[in-house]
Chains A and B, each alone.
Chain A
C-alpha cells in the first residue's frame, strides 16, 4: 500500500521499478539457459578461440603462445604428405563405412520389423555392441585378428584356406578392413535402432493401400517405404558420418596407426603430434584444417537432408 502511494507521488519511480522488474525477469529467464550456454562456452567456444591462438603462435605443451608466427603452422601442415594422406584416409573411411553401415543397418531393421515380437527381443541383443567400451571392442577384435592364435587365422588354417597365418593388422589394406569390421560391429546396431524407429512411423494404412492396389514387395519398398524414410535415413547417415570422423579409439588399440602410417587417421595423427611430440602449435593448425575438411565433406549430406525435409513439408 505504501509502495503504491509512493509510486503515485513520484511518476519516475514507477518507470524505474518497472525497468528493474523487466531486468530481473530477463535475468531470471537467462538463468534457465545459462547451464547449456556455459557448457557450450567451455567445450566449443573456448576451444575454438584457444586453438586459433595456438595455431598462429609458437607453442609447445609446456609453454603456449610464445610469439606470433603467422600462417607458418598451416603451411607446414599443408605441405606434409603424411598429414594430408591421413586427412584423405579419414574422409574416405568416414564416407564409405557410414554408407555401408547405413545400408546394412537399414536391411537388418527391415528384417527385424518383419519379425515383429522377435525383432524387439533382437533389438535388445544388438544394444550390447553399442554399449561396449570402444577400447574393449578393439581388444576383442585384436584377439580375433591376431596372427598367433587368433580366431580368424585358426579358422582359415583349419579349413585349409591358408597354410601360414596372415598378419591382418600388419598389412596396410587389411588393417583398415579390420578397423572397419570392428567399427561396423559397434555402430551398425545404432543404425538398426534408429532405422527401426523410422520404419515404425510409417502408418499401417499406407502399406495396406499399396497392397490393395496390387503393388508387389519390391514396388512397395521402392515407391512407398523408401521415400517415406528418406529424410530420417539422411539424418542417420549424417549422424554416423559425424561419429566416423571421430575415429580414434579403434585405431589406437588395433593398429596404433600402423603399419607405418597406413592406418593413421587425422584424429590419431593430431593426438600424437600434441601429446607425444608436444608440438601443439602445429597440432592446432592441423585440427583447424581437419575441422574445415569435415565441414566441407558433410555439407552435401546436410544439403541432401534439407531437401528431403522440405519435400516432407
Chain B
C-alpha cells in the first residue's frame, strides 16, 4: 500500500514537468493550425483548424531551400568534425601524442564564447572568398565543433579494452589500421552519437550563420526563420508552420537515435 502511494506521488510530481517540456511544441502545432483571426483570441487549441498556413509558409519564404542548405551544411560539417577529431583523440589517449596539454587546451578553447571568433572568422572567410558560401559554413562548423567531439569521443575511447589493441599490434597492425579496423567498429555507437550531436549543433547554429550569409541561396533555416519574423506582416500561423518544418528533421533523428544520444551525452559527464 505504501509503495502505491509512493508511486502516486512520483506520478504527480512528473506530470507538470512533462507538461512544461511539451507545452511550447504543442502550442507551435496549435498555432500552425490557426486562422489569422483565431491567432488573436488567446486560446490554446484552434477553434477552426486549418492547414492553410503550411503551404502559405513554404510560398512566403524559401523554406525548402533553407532546409536543404541547413541539412547539407550540417551533415558535411559533422563528417568533417569527426574526421578531424577521431585520429587526434585516439592519438592523445592511446599513442600518448600531444599529451595532457593538448586535451586541456582543446577543452578550454570551448570556454570562449563564439562571439570571440565572430569578427576574425568574418575576415578569414572574406579573404579566402568563402564569405556567403555554404562551403565557408561547413568549414567553420566543422572546425568549431572539434572540442565538443573531442570531449564526447574521449570517454568511449578510454573504455575500449586495451588488450584488443595490444593483440592487434603484436599481429603487426600499425596504429592507423588498428584505429580504422578495430577501434572504429567497437566504438561505433559513440562515434554515431558524437556525429549526431555535432551535426545538430551545426544545424541549430545561428550567430555565425547570420553574420556570414546574406543571400537566400546560402542562408540556413534558423537565419531564414529569424528573417521571417522581421517581415512587416508577421503571420504567426505561418511562422509556427515554418518553425515546425525546421524542427522536424532534428526530432526525427532524436526519435530514432535517442538511445545513442542519451548515452553519448551522459558518458561525457561521468568520464
Residue of B nearest to A283 (CB): B119
**B residues in contact with A190, CB < 8 Å:** 265
User: How far, in Å, is B135 (CB) from chain A's closest CB?
Assistant: 14
Instruction: Assess whether A149 is interfacial by the CB under 8 Å rule.
Output: yes
Q: Residue of B at shortest CB range from A50?
A: B120
Whether A36 touches B84, Cβ cut-off 8 Å, given contacts A132-B247, A133-B222, is yes
Which residues of A146-196 have CB atoms within 8 Å of chain B's CB atoms? 146, 148-151, 153-155, 157-158, 185, 189-190, 193-194, 196
A125-B18, A149-B42, A149-B236 are contacts. A135–B225 as well, Cβ < 8 Å? yes
Residue A144 interfacial (CB < 8 Å): yes
- Could you say which of A64, A146, A275, A295 contacts B211, with CB atoms under 8 Å apart? A275
Asked whether, in the complex, the Cβ of B114 is within 8 Å of the Cβ of A246, the reply is: yes
Q: Are A36 and B146 in contact (CB under 8 A)?
A: yes
A305 vs B246: C-alpha distance in the bound complex, in angstroms? 38
Would A201 and B121 count as touching, CB distance under 8 A?
no
B38 closest partner in A (C-beta): A149
Contact, CB under 8 Å: B84 / A267: no
Q: How far is the CA of A221 from the CA of B119 in the complex (A)?
A: 48
- Check if B152 is an interface residue, CB within 8 A of chain A: no
Evaluate whether A249 and B84 lie within 8 angstroms (CB atoms) in the complex, with A29-B95, A143-B31 already known: no
Nearest-neighbour CB distance to chain A for B240, whole angstroms, equals: 7
A266 — which chain B residues lie within 8 A by C-beta?
A: 115
From A39-47, A76-84, A207-215, the one touching the partner chain is: A39-47
Chain A residue with minimal CB distance to B41?
A149
For A42, the chain B residues whose CB sits under 8 A away are 124, 143
Question: Interface SS of chain B: helix, strand, loop or mixed?
Answer: helix
If A128-B254, A139-B229, A144-B27 touch, whether A32 touches B87 (CB-CB below 8 Å) is: yes
Residue of B nearest to A29 (CB): B97
A141 close to chain B: CB less than 8 A: yes
The bracket for how many chain A residues form the interface is 35 or more
CA A208 – CA B261 in complex, angstroms?
A: 31
| Bound CA span A32–B262, Å | 29
Interface residues in B93-111 (C-beta closer than 8 Å to A)? 95, 97-98, 102, 105-106, 109-111
Contacts known (A36-B85, A194-B266); A242 close to B27, Cβ less than 8 A = no
Q: Which residues of A contact B118 (CB under 8 A)?
A: 270-271, 274-275
Q: Contacts of A267 on B, CB cut-off 8 Å?
A: 113, 115, 207
Q: Does A95 contact B (CB under 8 A)?
A: no
- Could you tell me the distance in whole angstroms from the C-beta of B179 to the nearest C-beta in chain A? 9
CA distance A298 to B112 in the complex (A): 11
Per-position binary interface string of chain A over residues 116-156, scored 1 when its CB falls under 8 Å from any chain B CB and 0 otherwise: 00100011111111011111110111111010111101110
CB <8 Å contact, A39 and B42 = no
Q: Which of B42, B85, B116, B236 contacts A287 (CB 8 A)?
A: B116
Nearest chain-A residue to B6 (Cβ)? Answer: A114
A131 to B198, CA, bound (A): 11
Best-buried of A47, A266, A275 by chain B (most CB within 10 Å): A47
Give the chain A neighbours of B24 by CB distance below 8 A. 129, 137, 140-141, 144, 185
**Partner of A271 from B25, B105, B115, B239 at Cβ < 8 Å:** B115
**Does A35 belong to the interface (CB within 8 Å)?**
yes
- B20's contact among A133, A185, A294, A295, by CB below 8 Å, is which? A185
CA distance A150 to B236 in the complex (A): 10
Closest chain-B Cβ to A180's Cβ sits at a distance in Å of 14
Proximity bits, B253-271, A CB within 8 Å = 1, else 0: 1100011011001110110
A228 an interface residue at 8 Å Cβ cutoff?
no
Q: Which of B138-164 contact A (CB under 8 A)?
A: 140, 143-144, 146, 150
* Alpha-carbon distance between A35 and B150 when the two chains are bound, in angstroms: 12
Check A43–B206 contact: CB distance below 8 A.
no
Whether the Cβ atoms of A245 and B14 lie closer than 8 Å is: no
**Closest beta carbon of chain B to A27's beta carbon, Å:** 12
Identify which of B44, B102, B206 contacts A134 (C-beta below 8 A). B206
List of 4 A-B pairs having minimum Cβ-Cβ separation, nearest first: A154-B42, A197-B266, A32-B91, A140-B24
Residues of A within 8 A of B (CB): 29-30, 32-40, 42-44, 46-48, 50-51, 54, 61, 64, 108, 111, 114-115, 118, 122-129, 131-137, 139-144, 146, 148-151, 153-155, 157-158, 185, 189-190, 193-194, 196-198, 200-201, 232, 235-236, 242, 245-246, 248-249, 252-253, 266-267, 270-271, 274-275, 280, 283-284, 287, 290-291, 294-295, 298
Known: A50-B120, A134-B222. 15 other contacts (CB 8 A): A32-B175, A33-B91, A36-B102, A38-B143, A43-B144, A47-B116, A124-B258, A125-B21, A127-B262, A146-B236, A198-B270, A252-B206, A267-B207, A270-B115, A291-B112
Report 8 cross-chain contacts, Cβ distance below 8 Å, ordered by A residue: A30-B97, A51-B119, A111-B10, A122-B14, A127-B258, A155-B42, A197-B270, A248-B207
